[in-house]
């Protein structure tokens, strides 16, 4: 039941984000006197609709997005002569740019408000400092770093050696370690399959063990996790909360850039056990995000951690949608904005040369590129959905 609540909660949050994104386009278009004939959530067959004034509002069967239909959004549309003056493409460039970007701005505003509210109420999450004390000993050697133990998996080197939770590691291979980074670097410096001595403090005594590391996903693995101290939530004041929100959004946008750049390399691994080992492999579909939300609600953590993780998921989805739509590719918002900017630059150049306004861009020449981008986006979306169904990502333990 908790898993189902998590999935439903994410779907509701996603639809709310879509409604607000489209509301950005809709409200600014109405503000400038443009004619918007439809405002729908979802795609496909109409489940419900109602008309208010000149606009039809409704819900469609496939909850995978939404749309606002603005008359004359491109010059290719057939327009009733009575609506010609209110057509989108006939309006000043500044107004068109505002309408185009309003949806993206709304996604970032949602993320900003949620981050500020989160920092001022629940608090900014501090992950704490990992130590050389052992929190848990992994019982097996998993198939991958993100995989769980299965029957038949061999014992982990730490479990085989007899290490226990609560042991404080003081040296490895004769090298003293005082921080988790020291210990991690010492582990990495030893080859898999070669025994190494490890000294731990337990009950006031120092005990020596022999551990034989193994290789998992190309990294040296012994099977321990660090005890973390200082973890918790600290509430921020308004100024610090705003700084936290801006910083978090900036980091997320940079991370999205890294993820998108790595995605082509990660596609061949979408159905392999090491899918999540690269930045691009961590990209998921709406289905995958719903699965992660369900995992959050069933995770063995306190309610604060669940709320924080869920809201961070919703925030990250809004930032991703906003950043993706900025790309200067049709049919994305960024593509339409690029056309408006190109038209204005062309007008300026022609004016300087004493020539007449050349008018709107001939979109028929851009249709092949538009169709190609659309096919790539849809194809990638379907591929990610299949990967999330047959090889889903899981929350780190």
Instruction: Give the residue numbers annotated as catalytic, written as ranges.
Output: 22
Q: What is the 3-state secondary structure (H, E, C) of the chain?
A: CHHHHHHHHHHHHHHHHHHHHHHHHHHHHHHCCCCEEEEEEEEEEEEEEEEECCEEEEEEEEEEEEEEEECCCCCCCCCCHHHHHHCHHHCCHHHHHHHHHHHHHHHHHHHHHHHHHHHHCCCEEECCEEEEEEEEECCECCCCCCCCCCCCCCECHHHHHCCCCCCEEEEECCEECCCHHHHHHHHHCCCCCCCEEEEEEECCEEEEEEECCEEECCEEECCEEEEEECCEEECCCHHHHHHHHHHHHHHHHHHHHHHHHHHHHHHHHCCCCCHHHCCHHHCCCHHHHHHHHHHHHHCCCCHHHHHHHHHHHHHHHHHHHHHHHHCCCCCCHHHHHHHHHHHHHHHHHHHHCCCCCCCCCCHHHHHHHHHHHHHHHHHHHHHHHHHHHHCCCCCCC
Instruction: Tell me how far apart the alpha carbons of residues 154 and 172 are, in angstroms, rounded to a whole number.
Output: 23
In the chain, what is the straight-line distance between the N-terminal and C-terminal CA atoms, in Å? 21
Report helix, strand or coil for 89: helix
Under a CB-based contact definition with an 8 Å cutoff, are residues 391 and 292 in contact?
no
219 φ/ψ sector (left φ>0, alpha ψ -120 to 50, else beta): beta
Q: What is the CA radius of gyration of the chain?
A: 27
Can you read off the two tokens belonging to residue 229? 């101290």
Measured N-to-C along each axis, helices 333-352 and 93-120 cross at an angle, to the nearest 10 degrees, of 140
Can you read off the two tokens belonging to residue 21? 């994104």
């Amino acid at each position: 039941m908790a898993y189902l609540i998590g999935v439903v909660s994410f779907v509701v949050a996603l639809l709310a984000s879509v409604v607000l994104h489209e509301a950005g386009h809709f409200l600014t278009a109405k503000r400038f006197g443009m004619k918007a004939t439809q405002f729908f959530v979802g795609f496909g067959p109409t489940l419900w609709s109602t008309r208010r004034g000149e606009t039809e509002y409704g819900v469609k069967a496939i909850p995978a997005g939404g749309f606002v239909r603005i008359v004359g959004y491109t010059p290719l549309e057939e327009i009733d002569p009575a609506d010609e003056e209110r057509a989108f493409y006939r309006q000043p460039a500044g107004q068109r740019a505002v309408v185009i970007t309003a949806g993206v701005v709304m996604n970032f505003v949602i993320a900003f408000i949620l981050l500020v509210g989160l920092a001022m109420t629940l608090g900014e999450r501090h992950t704490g400092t990992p130590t050389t004390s052992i929190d848990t000993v992994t019982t097996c050697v998993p198939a991958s770093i993100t995989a769980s133990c299965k029957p038949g998996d061999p014992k982990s080197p730490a479990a085989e050696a007899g290490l226990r939770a609560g042991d404080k590691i003081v040296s490895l291979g004769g090298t003293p370690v005082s921080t988790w980074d020291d210990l991690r670097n010492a582990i990495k410096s030893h080859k898999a399959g070669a025994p190494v001595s490890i000294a731990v403090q337990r009950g006031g005594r120092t005990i020596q063990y022999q551990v034989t590391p193994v290789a998992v996903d190309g990294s040296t693995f012994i099977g321990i996790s660090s005890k973390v101290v200082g973890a918790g939530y600290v509430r921020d004041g308004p100024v610090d909360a705003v700084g936290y929100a801006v910083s978090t959004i900036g980091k997320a946008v940079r991370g999205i850039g890294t993820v998108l750049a790595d995605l082509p390399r990660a596609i061949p691994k979408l159905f392999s056990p090491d899918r999540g080992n690269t930045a691009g492999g961590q990209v998921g579909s709406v289905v995958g995000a719903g699965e992660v939300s369900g995992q959050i609600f069933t995770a063995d953590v306190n309610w604060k951690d669940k709320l924080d993780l869920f809201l961070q998921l919703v925030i990250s989805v809004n930032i991703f949608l906003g950043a993706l739509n900025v790309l200067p590719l049709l049919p994305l918002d960024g593509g339409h904005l690029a056309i408006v900017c190109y038209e204005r630059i062309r007008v300026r150049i022609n004016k300087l040369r004493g020539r007449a306004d050349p008018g709107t861009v001939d979109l028929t020449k851009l249709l092949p590129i538009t169709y190609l981008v659309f096919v790539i986006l849809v194809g990638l979306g379907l591929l990610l959905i299949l990967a999330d169904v047959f090889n889903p990502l899981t929350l780190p333990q």
